[in-house]
Amino acid sequence: MPGGCIRSPRCALAGHGPALPCAFGAGSPRVPTKVGSYQGTAEAGPSSHAMGGAGCHDRGLPSREPALVKTRLAVALLIALSAPAVALAAPPTAAAPASVAAESAADAAFRALYEKEWKWRQDGGGEASEDGDAPANATRLPDVGAAAQQARLKVWDQALADLKQIDPKALSADNQINYAIYHDQIFNLAEDVRLRGYEMPFNADSSFWSNLSFMARREMKTAQDYRNYIARLNDVPRYFGQQTDNMRAGLKRGFSVPRAVLDGREVSIATVAELKDPTESPLYAPFKKLPSTIPAAEQATLREQASAAISGKVVPAFQQLRTFFVNEYVPQARSTLAAEAMPDGKVYYRQQIHEYTTLDLSPDQIHQIGLGEVARIQKEMNDIIKQVGFKGSFAQFLTFLRTDPQFYAKTPNELLYRAAWISKRIDGVIGKYMTLPRARFTIVPVPPDIAPFWTAGRGGMGTYWLNTYNLPARPLYNLPALTLHESDPGHALQGALAAEQGEQPEFRRNAYISAYGEGWGLYSEKLGVEMGIYETPYEDFGRLTYEMWRAARLVIDTGVHSKGWTREQAIAYLRDHTALSEHEVTTEVDRYISWPGQALSYKLGEIAIVRLRAQAEKELGDKFDVKGFHDAVLKQGSVPLPVLEQQIQAYIAQRKKA
């Protein structure tokens, strides 16, 4: 998503796994002449992106010892944002599963390790999000208590120790890739618990209580599926109680969401806390139309039990949470903004950077990359202002875009219909650019209880969520870029392809790596120029606004969390450089303040993909095939940027030989 598709491994993975320490022994088109050729950008920064010695030991974090991560992939990591790399060892063209009978001892040991840990992780259930939920047989929400978290840490530390005993060079080519991805996944899960990230289980964008409503979207077919769902509703008080205990512990040590971004956040809690009729709750929605295969008498019983669970368990849990939030959390929340101002803040922020970018760049390096990208994009925006003949300053042009009625939908349906039209235009040409998955997606409005604090849209497997709240904050000139990012060829396509990659281990198919996913989403917006999707100069300015938005994030995130920026300074920077609405500017900055590091993944991932395409075009010449390049980027699913680097270097080498 431009601001969405925020899949946090913390939410999707860390809550999984039972608390069992014995388990071992995620108008007139303007087509810029250089966009289609995907030139590398000199503004991306110097070759000193190569970590500058900022390794794991330098950050006070445990070392990533495996040779594949610290040597070959480290080289790729260091150059992912600078000059083209030397080709690395070529993997096979397709990740075909090796016969278990033909496995080496190292491959067998690795497979046994990840299969055992993954099964344990899934057995713990999971919390719902816009991307999915735990399986229909789950009867409890995850155990998120401090004791369970520490038990998970023991499991993941043991997994890391066991991985250390496996020589990556002894693994098959496929498993060398799997090893690099799995090691980093487990490392991030362990570090989040080690740094007690679970004590801050919400931010200005997402929260455990708002995500609960997505539970109603789970697939249920049998009466037992519905009974399991009701059991989870009855488990809400325990789950909320554990989250509250964790937040109290965070407050006690100064580890909290900053007070500056908490105003109004209790509204989403109050919506449920004040509910009078349980059948009006989104959580009751699955019971309004039960399968005809369930007898009528049993249907009535299920509806009665669901209503009782919502009114007797869910609503009181929200009432208690609201009291805690208003009377304890908000008054005691920290007055500082920077992640580095919290306990172990510098280590925490560096780990957030690593988790969300898969790179070990310093805040200063990222800040400089952002400043360079902002300057480059500003020149392109100025060119469009000249093209449309606007007489006035850049600031006056932004005011014109934010206030002229021609750029805004008048009804929610108008916004939805326009997005659907753009999606169908994309459908007409997308097959020329990549191999398509079988699955399709739908477009739905963001649920009203969370819409005020959500971004413009989000997308994933099967769904493109479009925010129809506050239409004067949803400019139509941004809609093509948003739709390209969230639907096809962006996140909806990514999600569908991932579901078809059945030969990959589950820990890969079910994981989302932000730098890869959001990097591809932002690249998809740029690809829309080549596809002919932007019909007016204003829509192309909207595309550049979205790119500027992501470049500004590099400056703002590091500015706030490492350089002492104020909230007002961050808001002014985003407002002055983009045509985002005032509502979007404020909600976005609050998200960056409350969720350190996540917003860095978009631009850093996109820079890497754009650079790799420029290299492929240059080195392959007439042999370059855009569809083949995109298939090479997409076929491995969600991977760290160093792994993507390795794959594309191998693709280039193979194409040269063809």
Q: Please compute, for residue 245, the number of CA atoms within 13 A of its CA located in the half-sphere on the CB side.
A: 13
Q: What is the mean pLDDT of residues 190-214?
A: 93
Q: What is the mean pLDDT of residues 599-605?
A: 97
Cα–Cα distance, 591 to 2 (Å, whole number): 12
**Which residues, 6 or more positions from 389, have their beta carbon under 8 angstroms from its beta carbon?**
none
The confidence score (pLDDT) of residue 41 equals 36
Question: Taking 60 as the threshold, does the pLDDT of residue 516 lie above it?
Answer: yes
The confidence score (pLDDT) of residue 382 equals 97
**Which band of pLDDT confidence, cut at 50, 70 and 90, is reported for residue 598?**
very high
**Are the C-beta atoms of residues 640 and 181 closer than 8 Å to each other?**
yes
**Which band of pLDDT confidence, cut at 50, 70 and 90, is reported for residue 3?**
very low
Give residue-wise pLDDT tens across range 91-126.
444 444 445 557 899 999 999 999 999 999 888 766
In the chain, % of residues over pLDDT 70? 83
Give residue-wise pLDDT tens across range 162-197.
999 999 999 999 999 999 999 999 999 999 999 999
For the chain, domain boundaries: 205-256+263-332
Q: What one-character DSSP code corresponds to residue 129?
A: B
Give residue-wise pLDDT tens across range 383-429.
999 999 999 999 999 999 999 999 999 999 999 999 999 999 999 99
* Backbone torsions φ then ψ of 44, nearest 5 degrees: -65, -15
Residue 445 burial (10 A CB sphere; 0-12, 13-18, 19+): middle
Question: Taking 80 as the threshold, does the pLDDT of residue 21 lie above it?
Answer: no
The confidence score (pLDDT) of residue 216 equals 87
Give residue-wise pLDDT tens across range 638-654.
999 999 999 999 999 99
Structure tokens at 476: 């139509």
Cα–Cα distance, 613 to 139 (Å, whole number): 47
In the chain, % of residues over pLDDT 90? 72
Q: What one-character DSSP code corresponds to residue 69?
A: I
The amino acid present at 630, given as its one-letter code, is: H
The amino acid present at 458, given as its one-letter code, is: R
The confidence score (pLDDT) of residue 509 equals 87
Residue corresponding to tokens 């080519």: 173
Cα–Cα distance, 543 to 554 (Å, whole number): 18
Query: Global pTM?
Result: 0.82
Query: Which of 85-89, 139-143, 403-407, 578-582 is the least confident region?
Result: 85-89
Mean pLDDT of the chain: 85
The confidence score (pLDDT) of residue 66 equals 35
* Helices and strands (H and E) in the chain: how many: 27, 3
The confidence score (pLDDT) of residue 104 equals 94
The confidence score (pLDDT) of residue 450 equals 80
Q: What is the mean pLDDT of residues 345-352?
A: 97
Structure tokens at 613: 């395409």
Find the radius of gyration of the CA atoms of the chain. 24
The confidence score (pLDDT) of residue 503 equals 85
* Backbone torsions φ then ψ of 600, nearest 5 degrees: -75, -20
Give residue-wise pLDDT tens across range 47-85.
333 333 333 333 333 333 333 333 333 333 333 333 333
Cis preceding-peptide flag for 62 (omega within 30 of 0): no
The confidence score (pLDDT) of residue 217 equals 81
The confidence score (pLDDT) of residue 126 equals 62
Q: What is the mean pLDDT of residues 239-254?
A: 98
The confidence score (pLDDT) of residue 100 equals 59
Question: Taking 50 as the threshold, does the pLDDT of residue 36 lie above it?
Answer: no
Residue corresponding to tokens 């980093």: 184
Give residue-wise pLDDT tens across range 437-447.
999 999 999 98
Question: Taking 90 as the threshold, does the pLDDT of residue 557 lie above it?
Answer: yes
The confidence score (pLDDT) of residue 453 equals 76
**Antiparallel, parallel or unpaired: β 442-445 and 463-466:** parallel
Question: Taking 70 as the threshold, does the pLDDT of residue 591 lie above it?
Answer: yes
